[in-house]
Amino acid sequence: MRSGWAGRERPSEIKPAAQQEFLRTAAEAGLFEIEASRIAIARGGSAAVRRFAEATLRDRVSIDTDLQQLAESVNVALPSQVGDTLRARLAVLASLTGNDFDRAYARNVGIIAQEEALLAFERAANQEGERVERFAASQLPGLRKHLEWARQLAAELDRTSMA
């Protein structure tokens, strides 16, 4: 039996709908950030954006791996692709180039997606005693640090474009 939040739940423990929703939302957000960051690594105009994208990809793949294990342990099926809205955002992002791309990536993936992820993880972490909540709480410091980095990156890109 695995230990920690990835250990197998007892069969009698039925996951509340809110936890299932959190796992699926977090998984879809992860897929979005991973795909967007892959595009940014290939297409980012500035080295700072590519560095941020590489870190985002590395962190998100790590979170996604843990999330998959956790979901499996509590018998929740996760989405294998993003929904229509995020698919549209990826398509639009992939249609931008140069500074437009950098700023859109920093804002939409770095800040907005991170803020939404942080909010979802904070909500999930506010309930104590369950594996899902412990998992969410364990990710909060990394998410907050990454969001701060994204805000600095976006501000720097805005300053550069205005110069």
Partner 1 sequence: MNLPVAPGATGAARNQCSAGTAAHVVANPRSARAERTLLVRIVEQTLDAMEPMVVRILRDEAVSAEHALHIVVMDPTCDRRVGFEDAILLERSFGDPAGWNADYAWYAREKTRVSWRERRSLRTLLSQCPDRLNAGDIRVEGAVRDGVWIIGASGAQPWYDHAIASVAVHLLEAALAQTSAAAAAESRAS
Using CB under 8 A as the criterion, which residues of the chain lie in contact with partner 1 when the complex forms? 42-43, 84-85, 87-89, 91-97, 100, 103-104, 107-108
In the bound complex, what is the minimum distance in angstroms from residue 74's beta carbon to partner 1? 26
Rounded distance, CA 129 to CA 139, Å?
Answer: 16
In the bound complex, what is the minimum distance in angstroms from residue 84's beta carbon to partner 1? 5
Q: Which is nearer to partner 1, 73 or 108 (CB)?
A: 108
In the bound complex, what is the minimum distance in angstroms from residue 146's beta carbon to partner 1? 22
Burial 59-80 (b: 16+ CB within 10 A, else e): bbeebbeebeebbebbebebee
In the bound complex, what is the minimum distance in angstroms from residue 41's beta carbon to partner 1? 11
Q: Which two tokens stand for residue 75?
A: 């018998």
Q: Which is nearer to partner 1, 1 or 91 (CB)?
A: 91
**163, burial (CB in 10 Å: exposed 0-12, middle 13-18, buried 19+):** exposed
Q: Which is nearer to partner 1, 21 or 130 (CB)?
A: 21
Rounded distance, CA 17 to CA 13, Å?
Answer: 12
Element (H, E) at 91: helix 84-94
